[in-house]
Amino acid sequence: MASLKALKVRIGSVKSTQKITKAMKMVAAAKLRRAQEAAEAGRPYAQRVESVVASLASKVQVTEGSSPLLAGHGRDQVHLFVVATSDKGLAGAFNSNIARLARRRALELQAEGKTVKFLTIGRKGRAVLARQFREGFLPPVEPGDLGKLTFADAKRYADDLIARFTAGEFDVAHLFYATFKTVLTQEPTERQLIPVQIPVAPVSAAPTSDAVVEYEPDEESILASLLPTNIAVQIYRAIRENAASEQGSKMTAMDNATRNAGDLIQKLTIQYNRTRQAAITTELVEIISGAEAL
């Protein structure tokens, strides 16, 4: 049985941990509000840019002279997974859920004979994936605090991605991140970045509008300008969603840790009181026994 001193030290240690987790929960709650507002404010623009690009792509005839970001390289053998997580832990299953989705999709593609490479934005995603895959990792990106990243950072990531695609390092790029739903729910999401996905309308679908649209300049010129912008916008959207998801998951994890620490303190306190009472009872019995012997 643990001694009274050991129990007292452990209770003090757990109380100190509880103070830390409670403070971290408050910090995450303060950051969550700003991150959630930024994520929700950016969604309409990102969705609109994506829909405009998809609409234009569906109206353009893909030829050999079309932009590679639209037409691709004519093959889909090498797939690049851009796995966006964070550099920090203590966020529950936030990082592992994103990496788990990427790992499952990678195994599916490998089973089809495809080659999968990884470009990780965040150390935690790379750490999880490295347990399953020993090769195929490009130099990682360590973004630091997700809440401080700007669109310029996202554009830099996008330019690097486009340069690698132009150089023929991969054929298809997929983006993995977590979509923020609520404080308790963050949904791992996969999105194809390169080449752009052209929506296939049902044969029976009726046109939504009879308006005649004229493009100046032509559709291909507009697409050539919009496609790189769309990639940067989608990466920035993923960063904003991840920033909110990270703080929501961290807030939940720290709340659970604080409550668990409280339960442990209660159990240790009961054990301490019982041990102390047993020690007092033993001393009293010894005193009474000694007095009777006299």
CB atoms within 10 A of CB 32: 22
Cβ(35)–Cβ(243) under 8 Å?
Answer: yes
What pLDDT is stored for residue 276 in this prediction? 85
Choose between 70 and 156: higher pLDDT: 156
Whole-Å CA distances, 227 to 49, 83, 95, 165, 221: 9, 20, 28, 13, 10
Of 123, 110, 102, the residue nearest 175 (C-alpha): 102
Tens of pLDDT along 113-147? 988 889 888 888 888 888 888 888 888 888 888 88
Across the chain, mean pLDDT equals 83
Q: Are 15 and 266 in contact (CB under 8 A)?
A: no
Identify the three-state secondary structure at position 102.
helix
pTM attached to this predicted model: 0.81
Residue 260 binned pLDDT confidence (cut-offs 50, 70, 90):
very high
Burial of residue 255 (CB within 10 Å: 0-12, 13-18, 19+) is middle
What pLDDT was estimated at residue 4? 83
What CA–CA distance (Å, rounded) separates 19 from 204?
62
- For residue 232, the 8-state DSSP code is H
Burial class (CB in 10 A: 0-12, 13-18, 19+), 242: buried
Q: What percent of the chain lies above the pLDDT cut of 70?
A: 88
Structure confidence at residue 205 (pLDDT): 43
Between 111 and 219, the higher pLDDT residue: 111
Residue bearing tokens 């999968």: 116
Which residue from 222, 81, 70, 203 is spatially nearest to 138, judged by alpha carbons?
81
Q: pLDDT at residue 61 above 60?
A: yes
Strand 186-194 relative to strand 172-180, pairing: antiparallel
The pLDDT of residue 203: 40
- Say yes or no to pLDDT of 176 above 90: yes
Minimum mean pLDDT range among 15-29, 39-53, 58-72, 199-213? 199-213
Angle at CA of residue 225, ends 220 and 230, nearest 5°: 110
Rounded CA separation 69/229 (Å): 11
- Checking if the pLDDT of 241 tops 50, the result is yes
What domains can be seen in the chain, in order of their start residue?
Answer: 4-19+256-293 (1.10.287), 22-199+215-253 (3.40.1380.10)
How many Cα atoms are found within 13 Å in the side-chain-facing hemisphere of 15?
Answer: 9
pLDDT given at position 20: 92
The CA distance from 6 to 17, in Å, is 17
What is the pLDDT averaged over residues 59-72? 71
Q: Is the peptide bond before 68 cis (omega within 30 degrees of 0)?
A: no
Confidence of residue 62 (pLDDT cuts 50, 70, 90): low
Split at pLDDT 50, 70, 90, the class of 207 is very low
